[in-house]
Amino acid sequence: MSRPKKALVTGITGQDGAYLAQFLLRKGYEVVGLVRRSSSPSLERLARLGVQNDVKLVEGDLGDQYSIINAVQAEQPAEFYNLAAQSFVPESWKTPVQTGEFTGLGVTRCLEAIRCVNPEIRFYQASSSEMYGKVLEVPQSEETPFYPRSPYGVAKVYGYWITVNYRESYGLHSSNGILFNHESPLRGHEFITRKVTSAVARIALGLQQELRLGNLEARRDWGFAGDYVEAMWLMLQQDEPDDFVISTNETHTVRELVEVAFRRVGITDWEQHVVIDPRFYRPAEVDLLIGDATKARTRLGWSPKVDFHGLVEMMVDEDIAWETERMQLAIHSDRLAA
Ligand code: NAP
Ligand code: G4F
């Protein structure tokens, strides 16, 4: 019997890492996650998908070259998915150097580890639609030039080109997925979709009164993370490495997102709950993103299954269930204490 394929995943504790781990395990892979040292690593997302005990964790940090080489040397994976990054755009203005270090240079460290240990290992880089920034074309495809608008976007452009460069310089099977925004019930609470859906759930349950937001007119192409991890895997199954846009080909404003989320809980006068707060405006905004994923559809056979409304409703429903469970636990422990 042949051994299962092994994949090394950086960023396994994040949203995409959890969905990718679940996806690869279902395909029969051995999954190894690279996690940075912490006094209490957060395995909450892996636990919510029920795969916490099915992945092996090894210590490593995108800031440390030797730790990545050691992980690759010890594990000898067939595939390497680099999902780790400082991924929150506003944070990148506060920590531009650290963002460049992890989100940008970290990619070179992964590629160097592969080049030194085993150039046959296939590599996926988590590139981003933030690279299009002040968009030079609508919709954005693999041919659209980049114009990043944040230190995060600039770091991702570096990561994109170093992935192309190692492919061209050393013949590595290294591919970029240019992923547009993708969300899920596991999304971090600081990102707009989860911030909105968790606040809507709390407002519906009487736990919160207001929701403070920034720019309601920004447009994004929002898909479901569970759909997008399949595209990552498909890219590494191709004979030749390449770069692919992954998107839904639809765009919606933040305002629409807010409306759909409140409507799900029966609130139509949502303006009563929303306060515009200048703290959430950005020094430079990405006004409009909409992807053209024709190449992924025709060459990878990939297409998204969950649409915008389905995504927002799924997230609101899970946040209602989550908050209800937390309330019941609090009541239960109050009773025990009484
Ligand atoms: P996320 O939830 O923020 O997860 C980021 C992951 O990176 C976490 O596991 C984090 O670990 C890890 N990490 C950060 N710095 C690290 C370091 N120095 N060494 C090792 N690990 C480190 O992000 P996501 O939404 O899953 O996104 C995954 C990747 O796709 C990121 O590269 C992101 O930039 C990119 N991307 C995301 C989207 C999107 O819409 N979600 C779109 C395009 C591209 P800790 O748990 O230790 O913090
Ligand atoms: O949810 P966001 O913070 O995501 P953003 O900046 O588009 O970045 C995400 O998607 C990228 C792909 O394009 C990834 F590469 C990146 O790692 C990350 O996952 O903000 C979306 C939009 C912005 O235009 C922002 O100005 O929502 C607007 N917004 C309005 N009020 C807000 C808020 N964003 C946040 N986070 N919080 C607000 O209160």
Q: What is the CATH number of the domain that holds 274?
A: 3.90.25.10
Residue 307 three-state SS: coil
pLDDT at 62: 98
Which residue in 225, 226, 214 sits closest to 257, CA to CA? 214
Spell out the residues 6+ positions from residue 108 whose beta carbon is closer than 8 angstroms to its own: 162
Pair 68, 144 in one domain: yes
Whether 295 is in a domain gets the answer no
Region 272-280: what's the mean pLDDT? Answer: 98
pLDDT at 1 over 70: no
Burial readout 72-91 (b: 16 or more C-beta within 10 A, e: otherwise): beebebbbbbbbbbbbebeb
Instruction: Answer whether 208's CB lies under 8 Å from 161's CB.
Output: no
* Ligand 1 atom at minimal distance to the Cα of residue 127: 44
**Dist CA 156 CA 154 (whole Å):** 5
Q: Which residue has the higher pLDDT, 316 or 330?
A: 316
Residue nearest to atom 3 of ligand 2 (CA): 191
Pair 256, 144 in one domain: no
> pLDDT category, 248, cuts 50, 70, 90?
very high
Pair 213, 157 in one domain: no
Q: Ligand 1, residues 38, 87, 187, 227: which to mutate, most atoms within 8 A of Cβ?
A: 87
pTM of the model: 0.98
Pair 121, 160 in one domain: yes
Q: Is the CB of 199 under 6 A from ligand 2?
A: no
pLDDT digits (tens, 9 = 90+) for 163-193: 999 999 999 999 999 999 999 999 999 999 9
Taken in order 128, 134, 139, 142, the sign of the CA dihedral is: negative
Whether 296 is in a domain gets the answer no
Confirm whether 130 is a catalytic residue. yes
**Dist CA 38 CA 176 (whole Å):** 29
Whether 290 is in a domain gets the answer no
Confirm whether 29 is a catalytic residue. no
Domain count, the chain: 2
Q: Ligand 2, residues 181, 187, 193, 255: which to mutate, most atoms within 8 A of Cβ?
A: 181
Pair 266, 322 in one domain: yes
> pLDDT category, 40, cuts 50, 70, 90?
confident
Pair 142, 205 in one domain: no
Pair 138, 198 in one domain: no
Instruction: Answer whether 21's CB lies under 8 Å from 51's CB.
Output: yes
Q: Print the domain residue range for 168.
A: 6-183+224-246
Q: Is the CB of 126 under 6 A from ligand 1?
A: yes
Pair 138, 160 in one domain: yes
Look up tokens 């995943």; give the residue: 9
Region 244-271: what's the mean pLDDT? Answer: 98
The amino acid at 89: V
Pair 78, 211 in one domain: no
Region 95-112: what's the mean pLDDT? Answer: 98
Whether 298 is in a domain gets the answer no
- Which one is catalytic: 67, 92, 127, 128? 128
CA of 192 to the centre of ligand 2 (A): 6
Whether 289 is in a domain gets the answer no
The share of the chain scoring above pLDDT 90, in percent, equals 94
Q: What is the DSSP letter of 298?
A: I
pLDDT at 337: 82
Which residue in 211, 186, 192 sits closest to 254, CA to CA? 192
Please report, for the domain that includes residue 89, its CATH number: 3.40.50.720
Pair 201, 156 in one domain: no
Region 54-67: what's the mean pLDDT? Answer: 98
Pair 13, 71 in one domain: yes
Q: What is the DSSP letter of 142?
A: T
CA of 321 to the centre of ligand 1 (A): 25
Q: Is the CB of 254 under 6 A from ligand 2?
A: yes
Q: Is the CB of 93 under 6 A from ligand 2?
A: no
Confirm whether 152 is a catalytic residue. yes
Q: Is the CB of 16 under 6 A from ligand 2?
A: no
> pLDDT category, 2, cuts 50, 70, 90?
confident
